[in-house]
Structure 1
């Protein structure tokens, strides 16, 4: 028996979440059994746990899109008992039982070895948020955006992706402007490396299809009008990456920035990303991040505190990353 957070749904499609004891035989199919050391609480996890988003595709479901742990059993040639492995995405916590449990049975194709230079707890301080931020930074780099190109806008800056994006960009020498709805957190954002902090209200309302050019690049975690305005104010040849939808799924924009200014809009998917991209991103994370970064951007809770923290996260009362110790 082991502990797991279980989401169920009744006939009226009402969800409930309970901390339960589970038999190992109840775990879904997979060729690697992992003893989970740490998981995380992401925005997507919070939507699943609270039922405010239709994230879980079947029931019962163990949420948790991230995990790190030690291999207990393996039928895969890629991993042996005792190996430390890392997982982000691949529908885990949505269609396959996830990381908010003391054990997980997974497909080896979803796993990568824990990178050298980052320990288990640090990897979950990074989690999908930091990994997505790194994918976004890599996209800017590969499109030729350099520190000399100009200012980089990061929206949703107080969240996990935003916090790591600021830190990573700062480590690489970029000039970063952070957009946030919590201006009281300005000093925190500047401590991460933001050169300036602006109120999200300057971007979150309907705007003109073309606006004054400012940004050489954008890492957008918000979507909707914020993303549209970011594109409208990106400089000629600039690059905008989109990885979030906190404001909404809609994109009320014009094609003008893309045709008249040659702006590039790049979608950042972290869920189904090929293993080669994952390995590259995690290698860069291990090179760029310093030990002090993990504590500044994260907090640790236990499994019994996950549900209440999920509600706080959706209410905008959680800063940075939440690590769950199993």
Structure 2
């Protein structure tokens, strides 16, 4: 089968390319999936350059997302021909991932694909859509509604950010987007942002201990100073979710937003969260969170185009979502 393989030589040099490799052999309580689509995420890009915090096993196939049909099964819970989704866990990290025509996974990692979404639609959401859905659920579960006020989305041109903007807009929320890309303001307004703030303008007063309250809630996808400045502008009893670190893994802040405004900071993890939570989120993406603007967010590529797309991701030049067609 064809796959995008990352290798490390005896000198520690990392290289990657599309290769012909052996199809995986299905073991006990495992399933072999014929992959129709995968996607590209920032974690995939880090894996492609041998980032030790993501991947330590080489050679390795990238791809933290998979949608496809079961080709072979040695699990009593699944049948050949079933459409299934795998996201997160160790897939695409140290377990060979979805950038291959076939992939083998433990049956315990699988959720059933919603019938009303096509494979392409499902992977247009992928891990990014799942993360956005988990984030939006935390807002709703903490009594944030369209009437509460503006919702800030950071890193809004990225995968999670662009899907969060689109879903929130479809639910009736007033979305304010932050981006470092001045040439993408029209794109952000097209997908549902009512206002766009450029990153440098947003950070002008970031050194202050507290800022005027502006946002009922924040979905942060980047971390660092953007997150700390967002916390300082969140209204009383507001909610801030945190799911990414493309700006920085550091958070330099103070206690004022928490003890003076009762702001809640909630971490979002789509990798190890329960299958029940994942299945519920996929059902939401197929129903009340479903949007009709996916084609404005996605770019479909082939295995042979993954290398160039990784460069875009690593240089913060990517917009929306890359999905990879396998079969």
TM range (shorter): over 0.9
Q: CA deviation at 1:45?
A: 0.6
Helix, strand or coil at the partner of 2:17: strand
Matches within 5 A, 1:121-160: 121-160=120-159
Helix, strand or coil at the partner of 1:68: strand
What corresponds to 1:279 in structure 2? 279
- Indicate the RMSD between aligned Cα atoms, in angstroms: 1.6
TM-score (norm 2): 0.95
Deviations 1:202-238 (A, max 9, x none): 3346422211111100000110110000001101100
Contact residue 167 and residue 291 of structure 2 kept, 8 A: no
Helix, strand or coil at the partner of 1:282: helix
Deviations 1:69-108 (A, max 9, x none): 1101111122100001001111101121100001011011
How many residues in Structure 1 have an aligned counterpart in Structure 2? 325
Q: CA deviation at 1:12?
A: 3.1
1:246 aligns with 2:270: no
Q: CA deviation at 1:242?
A: 0.2
1:296 aligns with 2:296: yes
Deviates more, 1:48-57 or 1:226-235: 48-57
Distance 1:25 1:315, change over 3 A: closer
Distance 1:161 1:252, change over 3 A: same
Helix, strand or coil at the partner of 1:24: coil
What corresponds to 2:214 in structure 1? 214
Is there any run of 5+ residues in structure 1 with no aligned partner, and where?
A: none
Is there any run of 5+ residues in structure 2 with no aligned partner, and where?
A: none
Cα distance in 2 between the residues matched to 1:216 and 1:77: 46
Helix, strand or coil at the partner of 1:69: strand
What corresponds to 1:41 in structure 2? 40
Cα distance in 2 between the residues matched to 1:79 and 1:238: 42
What corresponds to 1:188 in structure 2? 187
Contact residue 219 and residue 240 of structure 2 kept, 8 A: yes
Distance 1:42 1:162, change over 3 A: same
